[in-house]
Amino acid sequence: MTTPTASSALEAVDTLYSRDVFSRAVMRQRLPKDVFKRLVRTIDLGDPLDHSVADVVANAMKDWAIENGASHFTHWFQPLTGSTAEKHDSLISPDGQGGVIFNFSGSDLVQGEPDASSFPSGGLRATFEARGYTAWDATCPAFLMRGTKSVTLVIPTAFVSWTGEALDTKIPLLRSMEALSRQAMRILKLFGTDQGVSRVFTTVGPEQEYFLIDRELFFQRPDLVVCQRTLFGARPPKGQQLEDQYFGTIPTRVLACMAEVERELWALGVPVKTRHNEVAPAQYEIAPIFEISQLGSDHQMMTMETLRRVAPRHGLAAILHEKPFAGINGSGKHNNWSMSTDQGHNLLDPQDDTHTNLQFLVFLTAVIRAVDIHAELLRGSIASAPNDHRLGANEAPPAIISIFLGDMLQDILNQVEKGQLRRTLRGGVIDLGARTLPTLPRHSGDRNRTSPFAFTGNKFEFRAVGSSQSIAWPNTVLNTIVAESLDYMATELERSAGKAPTPARLVSATMALLRKVVRAHKRVIFGGDNYAEAWHREAEKRGLPHLRDTVDSLAALRARKHPDLFKKYAVLTKAEFDSRLTITYEKYVKELTIEAESMASLARTRILPAALTHQHRVAETVAATEAAGVKCHDTVAALGEFVNLVARFREALAVLEKVVGHHDGDPVKHATWIRDKVKPAMADLRTYGDSLETCVAADLWPLPTYEKMLFLK
């Protein structure tokens, strides 16, 4: 038997990558040359899809899928539930002679018809109106989903109502990319850099944080099973205070799970690259290389599904909730975002002599302007009940939206304000003081991990996205607000310099515009500690919005200017925007109501009986001791304190059960009630419940503790 070498292992991975994808390479091999070229024009340039092309593609896709063991196909879409959806249909049909034939046509590929009545629509559809359509998204390749005893051909699609309203997250994302591309192309044309460029894309690389705990312990926690977060749980003596988890050695079982997740994702063409321990115990991260936004969004959903599916094979449970464990670091999803031409040029790459790169500075300041003007929208795009636990908790970016640029870019903007660009700061090198160690190139600026929106070399990192959230909506918002800002920049430059300006006029107009924008919007730039109270006070002085929770964020989004923006750039109609606002309200209410009712059930049926049993045990011990003629004043006193704690626990439980029973037909009023009445009642009950955990005998406590869940490897 030959032992595999490192090179052979690499070759195996190389062979594995995109194995289960109907990729461009596979299409080039299986499609007639003219059909392939026409399909590529649809994918790359947005040309309309011809049905004759769809028929040929469908036949080739069917043959490829059957050769790989597929028996069914499904249109895979992303409704407004925050997850994905699929309905499987067989590839076989009766042949009328007692046998079957494989059947999959262009119409099967292009359009499906799932029931639209059971998905949230926010008022776009009545509950009795069932018809909806899925439409093939040719920009995202089909792939194979392998089960234990099944293989399914999966076709990424968009999801619309019978009347044409977008019922998913994909359609607005694609529309927003078109809007940004149109405005970005105007900037490129002004600078004469549009030759050979047909479109501008946005790219994303989302970093996924998650927890892995023992699957057996997971199922012993009803709160984790139902709510994906612990509703009770005292802090363990050791949490993350020693800072020994981050980038630490990955436990063997976890590493095996990670490796299998990666291999499955590689087979699906997902370019995952990085894995490591995160800050909290039992917390980890997986991160891909950047991709075009709609493909990156699809791949992100596939990553979350794969984590959940693979973990049980290793006796683990993957938890993607933003705050599954109180008192330790929660999970986010850093969204690395940039703009690139279809020729591969990153428009947010500052290059070496940044002070001479006026085009880059136009795109940079357009983003700064967008984030400042539309901070409420950006904050609202990541608003959710789970994310409320993180934002502003000194473990994630605060709810105040600000931008970090770093020393080099900050210096250049200072020069812009003064009206003259003279230099680009250099980073230099770091001498480590040992001859055996190399000198290291130093970047021209440090990073700021407290910033919600930070420039990180050639992209912006939107760090406030929640770990369980689809990245489609935050990127839709980001694309749209930047499209508006690029529209403003292009219009101003065209007005002052003309649509075909001379180099001198363009430089003069650009410098004037940059200076104007920097002066108007520099308030959103902040390079210090975003967690500090001093910054909160400073942000208030600057007039930056501080939307502390989901209810405040959604209230701000009700202003007419927000749906008008999406309508102007053909991303969402007002009805489509309003529907998403309504759904977010409804989801907030439902999630927290489920949590509150689950908490009350745990308190009444598990924690209270355990506490009373402990109380009885201690009381019997006191009685037996004193019957023997021995006084035990300390134990009697402790028993009295425990009885009082149980009483307060009962009182808090009664309050929670009362307030959670409140119902209001108005989702805004109901969400406000949940925030102002239910959440405080839950916090009170948890305080007393966690205190009981520290007092009740370990053999009586009915739930696995944090210590067991977080440190069991």
**To 10 degrees, what angle do helices 293-310 and 472-497 make?**
160
Segment 568-573 shows an average pLDDT of 98
CA separation for the pair 635, 641 (Å, rounded): 10
Asked whether the predicted pLDDT for residue 10 surpasses 70, the reply is no
3-state secondary structure of 239: coil
Buried b (16+ CB within 10 A) or exposed e, 296-310: bbbbbbbbbebbeeb
Q: Where are the alpha helices (DSSP H) in 315-427?
A: 358-373, 375-380, 385-388, 407-418
User: At residue 191, what are phi and psi to the nearest 5 degrees?
Assistant: -90, 0
Tokens of 359: 């085009």
Among the listed residues 307, 126, 137, the one whose alpha carbon sits nearest the alpha carbon of residue 208: 307
Return the biggest CA–CA distance within the chain. 104
How many CB atoms are located within 10 Å of the residue 198 CB?
14
Asked whether the predicted pLDDT for residue 566 surpasses 70, the reply is yes
**Structure confidence by residue, pLDDT tens digits, 66-115:** 999 999 999 999 999 999 999 999 998 876 777 767 888 999 999 998 88
User: At residue 63, what are phi and psi to the nearest 5 degrees?
Assistant: -60, -45
> In the chain, helix, strand, coil percent, each to 5?
50, 15, 35
DSSP 400: B
Q: Which residue has the tokens 């640029």?
A: 405
Q: Which residue has the tokens 């210590």?
A: 707
How many CB atoms are located within 10 Å of the residue 105 CB?
13
What pLDDT score was predicted for residue 40?
94
Segment 158-176 shows an average pLDDT of 94
Segment 513-518 shows an average pLDDT of 97
Segment 451-464 shows an average pLDDT of 94
Among the listed residues 593, 568, 604, 615, the one whose alpha carbon sits nearest the alpha carbon of residue 671: 593
Asked whether the predicted pLDDT for residue 49 surpasses 90, the reply is no
3-state secondary structure of 667: helix
Percent of the chain with pLDDT over 70: 96
Q: Distances from the Cα of 633 to the Cαs of 265, 569, 579, 581, 622, in angstroms?
A: 63, 75, 63, 59, 9
CA separation for the pair 634, 587 (Å, rounded): 49
What pLDDT score was predicted for residue 2?
47
Tokens of 268: 């699906």
Asked whether the predicted pLDDT for residue 345 surpasses 90, the reply is yes
What's the one-letter identity of residue 104? F
The secondary structure of 603-629, three-state, reads HHHHHHHHHHHHHHHHHHHHHHHHHCC
Asked whether the predicted pLDDT for residue 603 surpasses 70, the reply is yes
**Structure confidence by residue, pLDDT tens digits, 666-687:** 899 999 999 999 999 999 999 9
The DSSP H or E segment spanning 565 is helix 561-568
Instruction: Give the dihedral sign, CA 103/106/110/111.
Output: negative
CA separation for the pair 91, 74 (Å, rounded): 10
What pLDDT score was predicted for residue 247?
65
Average pLDDT, the chain: 92
Segment 206-228 shows an average pLDDT of 97
Q: Which residue has the tokens 């040029």?
A: 345
User: At residue 78, what are phi and psi to the nearest 5 degrees?
Assistant: -125, 85
Buried b (16+ CB within 10 A) or exposed e, 180-191: bbbbbbbbbbbe
- 260 touches 314 (CB < 8 A): yes
Asked whether the predicted pLDDT for residue 299 surpasses 60, the reply is yes
**Structure confidence by residue, pLDDT tens digits, 517-547:** 999 999 999 999 999 999 999 999 999 999 9
Who wins on pLDDT, 567 or 162? 567
**Structure confidence by residue, pLDDT tens digits, 272-284:** 999 888 888 999 9
pTM to 2 decimal places = 0.94
160: β partners: 133, 166
Segment 111-132 shows an average pLDDT of 80
CA separation for the pair 322, 455 (Å, rounded): 24
